[in-house]
Amino acid sequence: MSDRIPHPLAAVFFDAGDTLLAPYPSFEARFIEVASAAGVPLEEAAVEAAVAAAIRRAAWPDDWTDPALQRRFWHGFYVDILGDLEFDGDREELADKMFAAFSDPSTYKLFDDVRPALRALAARGLKLGVISNFEPWLERVLELEGVRDQFVATAISGVVGVAKPDPGIFRAALDQAGVPAGACLHVGDNLDADVAGARAVGMIPVLIDRYARLPDADELRVESLAELVELVEGG
């Protein structure tokens, strides 16, 4: 790993899911809540194991710009989890309820370290942006969380019609912010979409590994945005 914090640093861009925000209070807890509301009691440990197994098996879609494709993927993902949980009711119907719940912008919250980090980075005169493979309603999540105005650029795959790691989505954000790629960081949790994608356009990638899934990754790596601020301030 040879990446270094650029000098001068002009901007920091962020992925959204598992970088800035997540379903509240967690994906697994929200899954249990939706099931419970439908009269299906689930145990936390079993759901955590089923979700982890489904993530490992998932054939993640290449096209994060097509709402119909995304719906099919997530619906199938929820059905897969319910299969592991040996739910013998109508999995399709419950998966529909899951999709509706996880598509509700009001159920997503920022991680606790996000607001302090954004304030600290902005105080250094840095421009901030979002580059995310997400549905268009990500804009609404950012509005509800009161941080939309802190980003000078938002490049969302469901809006711009191109998804990470395609260079086009990164360039769209760079154009909005009016900054050169070599003076920017991109922070995200995916080695292909975020790290390789950002590096391909000349940005410096920072891997955020909140759940310690990639402890051996040979990259600029942080486990929180507080660590990111320290990295920037020490860089």
Last residue of some domain: 83, 107, 131? 107
User: Is residue 119 domain-resident?
Assistant: yes
> Which tens digit of pLDDT belongs to each residue from 18-55?
999 999 999 999 999 999 999 999 999 999 999 999 99
In the DSSP assignment, the letter for residue 104 is -
Instruction: For residues 223 and 176, state if they share a domain.
Output: yes
Query: Is pLDDT at 184 greater than 90 in this prediction?
Result: yes
What is the domain range of residue 141? 11-20+111-234
Q: Which long-range contacts (CB under 8 A, 24 or more apart) does 138-143 make?
A: 138/16, 138/105, 140/105, 141/16, 141/21, 141/105, 141/108
Q: Based on the domain organization, do 42 and 79 belong to the same domain?
A: yes
Name the E strands within 3-75: 11-14, 21-23
Does residue 29 sit in the same domain as residue 142? Answer: no
Assess whether 89 and 153 both reside in one domain.
no
pLDDT of residue 208: 98
The answer to whether the beta carbons of residues 98 and 31 sit under 8 Å apart is yes
Query: Is 141 in the same domain as 153?
Result: yes
Tell which of 81, 107, 133 closes a domain: 107
* Of the residues 73, 107, 141, the one at which a domain ends: 107
Residue 68 resides in a domain: yes
Beta bridge partners of 23: 108
171 Cβ contact list (under 8 Å, min separation 6): 201
Q: Which pLDDT belongs to residue 1? A: 61
* 90 and 205 part of one domain: no
In a domain, 2, yes or no: no
User: What pTM did the predictor assign?
Assistant: 0.92
pLDDT exceeds cutoff 90 at 62: no
Element (H, E) at 119: helix 114-123
Q: How confident is the model at residue 2 (pLDDT cuts 50, 70, 90)?
A: low
* Number of domains observed in the structure of the chain: 2
Task: Check residues 169 and 3 and name the one with the higher pLDDT.
Answer: 169
pLDDT (0 to 100) of residue 64: 83
pLDDT at 87: 95
pLDDT tens across 81-128, in order? 999 999 999 999 999 999 999 999 999 999 999 999 999 999 999 999
